[in-house]
Amino acid sequence: MEAEINEFMEYLSQERQASKNTQMSYKRDLGQMEEYLRGQGITEPERVTRTLLNSYILHLEKQGRAATTISRMMASMKAFFHYEFSRRKISRDPAELLKAPKVEKKVPTILSVEEVASLLNQPEDSSPKGIRDKAMLELLYATGIRVSELIGLKLGDLNLPIGFIICRDEHKERTVPFGKITKQALERYLEQARSLLLKGKESSLLFVNCSGTPMSRQGFWKIIKHYGLMAGITADITPHTLRHSFAAHLIGGGADLRAVQTMMGHSDMATTQAYTAYVQKEDAVRTAYSSAHPRQ
């Protein structure tokens, strides 16, 4: 089955133009499936049955794999066998009727406006690193972009005079505005810090690390964790926390859902609407507290 999986990977790369991360995920998932089926004496896709695939899923559950992981692995299996069936390499699709385990959706960590303000005030403005960190945090909260988009921004993606950035992925691009405070932080970074961080090197990236090279997701994760601790925030902060907070605060302030969806780059409105439930819950709690607490 290894040859068929390799052919499917070629299809993902050449015809679907899937990202490297997507290709790696499919290859890992299908490799594990192939290893299990080989242990059952099955080496040809045509001999794979739905019963065998269900046995494999039970095997994953017994290993203690998370429901989210199993769901992803099932998606890989479904894509592979659908490809095999559509190309008439197998006479039936054994994965067609597989049902993924129910995944419990986690409530995202959303900071209060006061917590965000405290977080953004932590970087020291006396060092190139502090000036850069301030600009990155301000831009992340002002736009709600993903961390991968933040560290991948190029100088040409930034329009300071008008106040917007252009975010690009494999299939589309979107324009996201930012305000005066973020503009000031970016101006200061470009004027006083970026060239010092580059140390004579050249880069098309907007943000670089202290060695003048591209910043990693892990590097920025450490930065935001550090400032979260300094701000005394007890919530488990990740780089995605400011993205969640951006959406919730905009919706809580009365922003149009379609506009928030566009800025966030959500393909599905349901993803954006999930923040509405959080905002409504918070409003209900505040209303109940203010109307019933004796020390109001």
Burial of 11 (0-12, 13-18, 19+ CB in 10 A): middle
Helix (H, G, I), strand (E, B) or coil at 175: strand
Domains and CATH numbers, the chain: 2-86 (1.10.150), 113-291 (1.10.443.10)
The distance between the two most distant Cα atoms of the chain, rounded to a whole number of Å, is: 72
CA 159 to CA 176: how far, in whole Å?
A: 10
Burial of 289 (0-12, 13-18, 19+ CB in 10 A): exposed
State the 10-residue block means of pLDDT for the chain, 296 residues long. 92 87 91 94 94 92 86 92 93 88 67 90 93 95 88 95 85 86 96 95 95 91 92 84 82 78 72 64 43 40
Helix (H, G, I), strand (E, B) or coil at 200: coil
In this predicted structure, what is the pLDDT of residue 20? 84
For 123-150, what is each residue's pLDDT tens digit? 988 899 999 999 999 999 888 888 889 9
For 257-295, what is each residue's pLDDT tens digit? 777 777 777 766 766 666 676 555 554 434 433 444 343
CA 43 to CA 80: how far, in whole Å?
A: 15
In this predicted structure, what is the pLDDT of residue 85? 93
In this predicted structure, what is the pLDDT of residue 273? 67
- Among candidates 43, 152, 54, 39, which has minimal Cα distance to 97? 54
- Among candidates 78, 67, 75, 69, which has minimal Cα distance to 101? 67
CA 233 to CA 116: how far, in whole Å?
A: 9
Helix (H, G, I), strand (E, B) or coil at 176: strand
Q: For residues 203 and 212, is the Cβ–Cβ distance under 8 A? A: yes
